[in-house]
């Protein structure tokens, strides 16, 4: 008790801040966040209506940079092509942390009938297709824009500094380009700003608005994209025996790849996924083509499992092609996305904060997530914590809601304020602990 009393009189002696000061900062931050709520929704709708693909987030990054400059912050742009970074420096001493939001959209044509639905089109893999924020990155960006404004408003009471990372290309850079978190790090963003911890969130339709999901340790899977090229010998469709059919070969490869997970991998230890997402081959009903291209993704949770799956995929692809008299090559990308690992100590502390923000019954541990997140690159550099933010309204049937990466993905905008309060509280509590 004597030490706490001294801390009130002598706040510079290095002990925890007085409860009164902490409560004042919490109240001031809550009021500042409340003032931004309507604009966070407006920003989200604007970004949603004007989505941009990975490494092409020019309009979005300008919107972000202009807002940060309007707050009086020094802004660095052009990081990893279209990334934006700024720092809110508190008036009180303390650590430096990073908050991250991703900005890119997906090549998906939106089907929801919203006033701000996307009608944007772009060229992707040589085809014209709609562009949609089908993963919620519009919400992530808008939330962090609101948090930036609130942090500036309480800067006089803020201990330490908060690095705001607005990241492009989380969904993966276009073929032949680098991008995303890996490129931001390669360009030295952590060396320049030196955060000692990183935090982020992702909207999720598997939970209701007001709920938060987390997991200590591994949370999101590693993701590796791949290409398979099957080469046969073209012939007339009426005389298939005159050639080697790469379409039939490819079909059997697709089927056989699923047996790797269902029959060859111990999925009681860790789950794994092999998915073929696209097949291209042929152009006419009566022509057997020379080759078929397939692209897909592999999801794993540890390096040994990843290497084992890669070896089995290669063996399966080459063996089935050879059995058909064809040939095939398996080409994984040079560097995939790592597992997102939540630091155990940060997780324990953050869960206590989240329970305070939304109530303990609304914070729950989630199973391993076979989705991927390139936030994992940041988590490889510093202790990190990443969590799920529920965005499904109470009246919706959770068993029937559209998932991320689908044309009918829907986001309850009431979740934006919850996300802003949750992420900012996790950040402030870390700064107050003053590592």
pLDDT digits (tens, 9 = 90+) for 348-372: 999 999 999 999 999 999 999 999 9
For residue 115, count CB atoms less than 10 angstroms from its CB and return exposed for 0-12, middle for 13-18, buried for 19 or more: exposed
Tell me what pLDDT residue 106 has.
98
For the CA atoms of 220, 222, 225, 230, the dihedral, rounded to the nearest 10 degrees, stands at -120
Strand partners of residue 199: 99, 385
User: Where does the pLDDT of residue 3 fall: very low under 50, low under 70, confident under 90, or very high at 90 and above?
Assistant: very low
| Domain boundaries, given as residue ranges, for the chain | 2-218+339-433, 222-332
- Whether 170 is a known active-site residue: answer yes
Q: Residue 251: in which H helix or E strand, if any?
A: helix 246-259
b/e sequence 312-323, b meaning 16+ C-beta within 10 Å: bbbebbbebbee
Q: Rounded distance, CA 361 to CA 120, Å?
A: 40
Kindly name the residue from 170, 224, 343, 429 that is annotated as catalytic: 170
Tell me what pLDDT residue 12 has.
36
Q: Rounded distance, CA 284 to CA 245, Å?
A: 14
Tell me what pLDDT residue 334 has.
79
- Whether 76 is a known active-site residue: answer no
pLDDT digits (tens, 9 = 90+) for 79-107: 999 999 999 999 999 999 999 999 999 99
Q: Rounded distance, CA 390 to CA 52, Å?
A: 24
Tell me what pLDDT residue 5 has.
36
Kindly name the residue from 26, 104, 110, 245 that is annotated as catalytic: 104
- Average pLDDT (289-297) is 98
Q: How many C-beta neighbours within 10 Å does residue 177 have?
A: 13
Tell me what pLDDT residue 16 has.
47
Instruction: Kindly calculate the radius of gyration of the chain based on its CA atoms and give it in whole angstroms.
Output: 24
Tell me what pLDDT residue 15 has.
43
Whole-model pTM: value is: 0.92
Tell me what pLDDT residue 213 has.
98
Percentage of residues in the chain having pLDDT higher than 90: 93
For residue 51, count CB atoms less than 10 angstroms from its CB and return exposed for 0-12, middle for 13-18, buried for 19 or more: buried
- Average pLDDT (204-216) is 98
User: Where does the pLDDT of residue 18 fall: very low under 50, low under 70, confident under 90, or very high at 90 and above?
Assistant: low
Q: Residue 294: in which H helix or E strand, if any?
A: strand 291-300
CATH class of 222-332: alpha beta
- Average pLDDT (309-319) is 98
Q: Rounded distance, CA 131 to CA 121, Å?
A: 5
Q: Is the pLDDT of residue 382 over 60?
A: yes
- Average pLDDT (235-250) is 98
> What is the DSSP annotation of 46-62?
HHHHS---TT--HHHHH
Beta strands per DSSP E along 127-271: 127-130, 159-167, 198-208, 212-214, 217-220, 222-231, 235-236
CATH architecture for segment(s) 2-218+339-433? 3-Layer(aba) Sandwich (3.40)
- Average pLDDT (3-21) is 43
Please, what is the Cα angle at 430 between 350 and 101, to 5 degrees?
75
Tell me what pLDDT residue 435 has.
64
- Average pLDDT (7-34) is 69
Tell me what pLDDT residue 19 has.
66
């Amino acid at each position: 008790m004597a030490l706490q009393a001294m801390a009130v009189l002598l706040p510079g002696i290095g002990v925890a801040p007085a409860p009164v000061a902490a409560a004042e900062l919490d109240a001031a931050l809550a009021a500042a966040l409340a003032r931004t709520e309507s604009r966070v929704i407006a920003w989200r709708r604007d970004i949603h209506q004007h989505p941009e693909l990975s490494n092409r987030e020019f309009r979005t990054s300008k919107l972000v940079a202009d807002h940060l400059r309007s707050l009086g912050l020094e802004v660095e742009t052009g990081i990893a092509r279209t990334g934006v970074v700024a720092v809110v420096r508190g008036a009180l001493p303390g650590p430096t942390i990073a908050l991250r939001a991703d900005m890119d959209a997906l090549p998906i044509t939106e089907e929801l009938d919203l006033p701000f639905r996307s009608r944007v089109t772009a060229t992707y893999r040589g085809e014209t297709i709609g562009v949609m924020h089908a993963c919620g990155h519009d919400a992530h960006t808008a939330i962090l824009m609101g948090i930036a404004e609130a942090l500036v408003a309480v800067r006089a009471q803020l201990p330490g500094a908060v690095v705001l990372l607005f990241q492009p290309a989380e969904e993966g850079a276009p073929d032949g380009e680098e991008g995303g978190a890996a490129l931001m790090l390669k360009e030295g963003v952590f060396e320049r700003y030196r955060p000692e911890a990183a935090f982020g969130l992702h909207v999720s339709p598997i939970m209701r608005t007001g709920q938060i999901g987390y997991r200590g340790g591994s949370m999101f899977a590693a993701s590796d994209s791949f290409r398979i090229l099957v080469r046969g010998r073209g012939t007339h469709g009426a005389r298939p025996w005159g050639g080697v059919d790469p379409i039939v070969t490819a079909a059997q490869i697709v089927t056989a790849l699923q047996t790797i997970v269902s029959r060859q991998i111990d999925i009681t230890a860790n789950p794994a996924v092999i998915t073929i997402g696209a097949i291209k081959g042929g152009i006419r009903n009566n022509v057997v083509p020379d080759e078929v291209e397939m692209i897909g993704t592999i999801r794993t949770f540890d390096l040994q499992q990843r290497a084992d799956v890669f070896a089995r995929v290669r063996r399966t692809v080459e063996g089935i092609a050879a059995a058909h008299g064809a040939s095939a090559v398996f080409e994984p990308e040079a560097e995939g996305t790592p597992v997102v690992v939540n630091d155990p100590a940060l997780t324990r502390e953050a869960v206590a904060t989240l329970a305070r923000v939304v109530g303990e019954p609304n914070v729950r541990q989630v199973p391993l997530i076979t989705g991927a997140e390139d936030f994992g690159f940041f988590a490889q550099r510093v202790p990190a914590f990443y969590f799920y933010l529920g965005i499904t309204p109470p009246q919706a049937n959770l068993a029937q809601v559209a998932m991320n990466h689908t044309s009918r993905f829907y986001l309850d905008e009431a979740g934006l304020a919850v996300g802003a309060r949750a992420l900012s509280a996790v950040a402030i509590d870390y700064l107050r602990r003053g590592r």
